[in-house]
Structure 1
Amino acid sequence: MRKLTLLKIEILLIVLLGVLSSNKTNAQDKLDKSTIVPSMIKAMEWQEQHPIFAIAPTDWTNGAYYTGVTRAHQATQNQIFLAAIKTMGYRNEWKTYIRDYHADDVAISYAYLYLEMNTNRKNMVNLEPTESFLQKHLFEDNQWKTGEDKEKSILWWWCDALFMAPPVIVEYAKLKNDESYLDAMHKYYLETYNLLYDKKENLFARDNRFVWTGKETDIKEENGKKVFWSRGNGWVLGGLALILDTMPKDYKYRPFYEQLFKEMATKIKSLQQADGLWTTSLLYPESYAHGEVSGSGFFTFALAWGINNGLLNKDEYSLNVMRGWNALQKCQLENGMVGWVQNIGFDPRPADFDSWQNYGTGAFLLAGSEVLKLKD
């Protein structure tokens, strides 16, 4: 009799655990849209109160952050985001950073171009620095077009560059109604694709050091797999969403970008972890067994954008997006700071609850801006 009672208790416990687990999963799979905009505002307000940049206020870190602020305004029309972009532009005197051969140094112009095309105030934005940069970067010789440096043998020799410059170029091409900028962008994008894209894994190596040649000296993870950095691939997939968002539907090379986007999205979907985030090393999650916000933010943004724009099937991807966003929100502290952001680098490294960077906040804002648009 006692054995029978114990058996009943064990069965009851199993059922209860199943219910609790189911409730946890259901909570993870639900989206409370009422919390998205407040979370985004808190994130931006905290970041504005804690300015940070790697080199200068016009550098790539601020470029990525203010791209997020820009998309937040586009999605919400909340004036607090627009005010932040205007203040930044005036403070920076609408300048790019100083290296016209380096894609990173024009990322800040994404926000400038948004203001130019989305406000009625004439002569507010001075686009001359951006125009000068793009002319030199795309159409004049520079030290990374000569091929003399084996590591930097092409203009965009690192995958991050595909987020920094191409979205700006596409926006500028739209503003000027000049397809020659799109053609130049495609030329250099294809060089990077041919050098760094792994067609077996459907992921990008961060740079030439991580491209497998079949030699024993190839850099490997401890599990023997190739090194694919989460944020590096987040830069690419997030950048693709920004490019496709503006690229004309009838542009002759658009099918290439759509196909690449779908290939990468399929792979990224398969690598999401149970907590909703992606780890810093995509093929070796055990290396740092925790989620990371900057890569996860860009992935969540891109997957949501794909659903919203008909490139990804909603039934297949919506759970990934909801789980991604819910997990990102859990990484935001009560004061608005977005934690669990890997610091500046070029390969997988750890993060923790209070590690933050402005580009992590930018990725968070990008994700929120597209998740907000999801249809019920």
Structure 2
Amino acid sequence: MNKTILSLFAIVLLFNCSTAQKATEVKDIDKAQVKAAMEKALEWQEAHPIFAIAPTDWTAGAYYVGVARAHKATKNMMYMAALKNQAYWNNWQTYKRLHHADDVAISYSYIYIDRNEKRRNFVDLEPTKKFLDAHLYEDDSWKSGKNPGKEGKDILWWWCDALFMAPPVLNLYAKHTEQPKYLEEMHKFYMQTYNKLYDEEEQLFARDMRFVWQGKDKDSKEPNGKKVFWSRGNGWVIAGLALILDDMSEDYEHRPFYEKLYKEMAAKMLAIQPEDGLWRTSLLSPESYNHGEVSGSGFHTFALAWGINNGLVDKKHTSAVKKAWNAIAKCQHEDGRVGWVQNIGAFPEPASADSWQNFGTGAFLMAGSEILKLD
């Protein structure tokens, strides 16, 4: 081999190494661009309202949690205006199913407004109190445990999504009203869900009892033999944990449980993050739908960034979180719409560039709110 060929071979190797490094290189965060992307997402979503059942349902609740967190991070009054506008038109109401955790998620935004509103008697939290009192203290068919069915409906929060919908509201309401009894009830029901749905081996939550590993039920595993763990389902849980810990007193007796659970799930999400930054809808079978999904990824990114910002996740993982945000940001359309959001469901399914939901925008805003705080 002559010197010319050797030289060319060396150049090719150098080129391949440099391009490989660029392929995995983590782009720095431009916080001005993050703010601009968040504002565009809000503007587009406000101009294109959507909800599953009613303006006070869980989809709106999750979206306006994102709006509240965006306001908390930026103090931009456009977010507060959106919060107050929806609360006014909702007349501060929850949705009507008093024993269903989904239907109080909207109250997180109401409580947040009250904690930041200087005018007295502007916010009406009486509908929230009515819901919480009925939810916690009245009997219902789920609490009775008589008809669990295949999904395991024998506890109040029988599906993992519920851990985002009600516990952060109860936790914040207890703090805001200085009534710890609501926090104690939250912990009691949280433990019921944890004990049924948390897989200690995988450090992930099954969506409901249909997906608890039994080894015989075909619904309990993926084609690759792995257990079924839904990205957004676990996103609901870990994002809810970050919200809970953010508002929970440092000296609350059960706080160590929530910190431990958060750290376990955070470590798992970091360990299974795909190379391109976006988690797949099926966490342990990414090949089932080999494309990233934004709602689950948004919630994971929010929670992990929150952990770094609050000392529960080592800062060495900052690059992984930046990678996730950069990948999420690429899923936003030029007009502000956030794409690649799996539609309403209860297990891993595909998404597309054009699929969107308001809770996907909420996850996007939540992720951006903590990305802005990274060093």
User: Which bracket does the TM-score occupy, shorter chain normalised?
Assistant: over 0.9
Q: Report if aligned partners of 1:228, 1:282 keep a CA contact under 8 Å in 2.
A: yes
Residue 75 of structure 2 aligns with an amino acid whose one-letter code is Q
Residue 213 of structure 1 aligns with an amino acid whose one-letter code is Q
Cα-to-partner distance string for 1:341-362 (whole Å, 9 max, x where unaligned):
0000000000111110000000
Q: Report if aligned partners of 2:104, 2:131 keep a CA contact under 8 Å in 1.
A: yes
1:264 — aligned with what?
265
Q: State the Cα distance separating 1:216 from its structure 2 match.
A: 5.0
Cα-to-partner distance string for 1:103-157 (whole Å, 9 max, x where unaligned):
0000000000000111101111111110000000011111211101212100000
Verify: 1:252 aligned to 2:253, yes or no. yes
1:366 — aligned with what?
366
Report 1:324-343 matches (<5 A).
324-343=324-343
Residue 295 of structure 1 aligns with an amino acid whose one-letter code is G
Q: CA RMSD in A?
A: 1.2
Verify: 1:345 aligned to 2:358, yes or no. no
Q: Report if aligned partners of 1:280, 1:291 keep a CA contact under 8 Å in 2.
A: yes
Q: Report if aligned partners of 1:115, 1:125 keep a CA contact under 8 Å in 2.
A: yes
Residue 219 of structure 1 aligns with an amino acid whose one-letter code is S
Q: Report if aligned partners of 2:57, 2:102 keep a CA contact under 8 Å in 1.
A: yes
Cα-to-partner distance string for 1:279-303 (whole Å, 9 max, x where unaligned):
0000000000010000000000000
Q: Report if aligned partners of 1:291, 1:340 keep a CA contact under 8 Å in 2.
A: yes
Residue 306 of structure 1 aligns with an amino acid whose one-letter code is G
Distance of 2:284 and 2:4 partners within structure 1 = 47
SS of residue matched to 1:291:
coil
Report 1:157-172 matches (<5 A).
157-172=158-173
1:87 — aligned with what?
85
Residue 339 of structure 2 aligns with an amino acid whose one-letter code is G
Residue 367 of structure 1 aligns with an amino acid whose one-letter code is A
Distance of 1:222 and 1:8 partners within structure 2 = 48
Q: State the Cα distance separating 1:78 from its structure 2 match.
A: 0.2
Compared CA separation, residues 171 and 286, structure 1 to 2 (3 A): same
SS of residue matched to 1:144:
helix
Q: Report if aligned partners of 2:157, 2:193 keep a CA contact under 8 Å in 1.
A: yes
Cα-to-partner distance string for 1:77-102 (whole Å, 9 max, x where unaligned):
00000000000001111100000000
Q: State the Cα distance separating 1:275 from its structure 2 match.
A: 0.8
SS of residue matched to 2:359:
helix
2:94 — aligned with what?
96
Distance of 1:158 and 1:143 partners within structure 2 = 15
Distance of 1:352 and 1:59 partners within structure 2 = 24
Cα-to-partner distance string for 1:62-87 (whole Å, 9 max, x where unaligned):
00000000000000000000000000
Distance of 1:335 and 1:351 partners within structure 2 = 19
SS of residue matched to 1:344:
coil
Q: How does the TM-score come out when normalised to structure 2?
A: 0.97
Report 1:198-217 matches (<5 A).
198-217=199-218
Percent identity between the two aligned chains: 61
Residue 19 of structure 1 aligns with an amino acid whose one-letter code is S
- List alignment gaps of at least 5 residues for structure 1: none
Tell me which of 129, 132, 135 is aligned to 1:134.
132
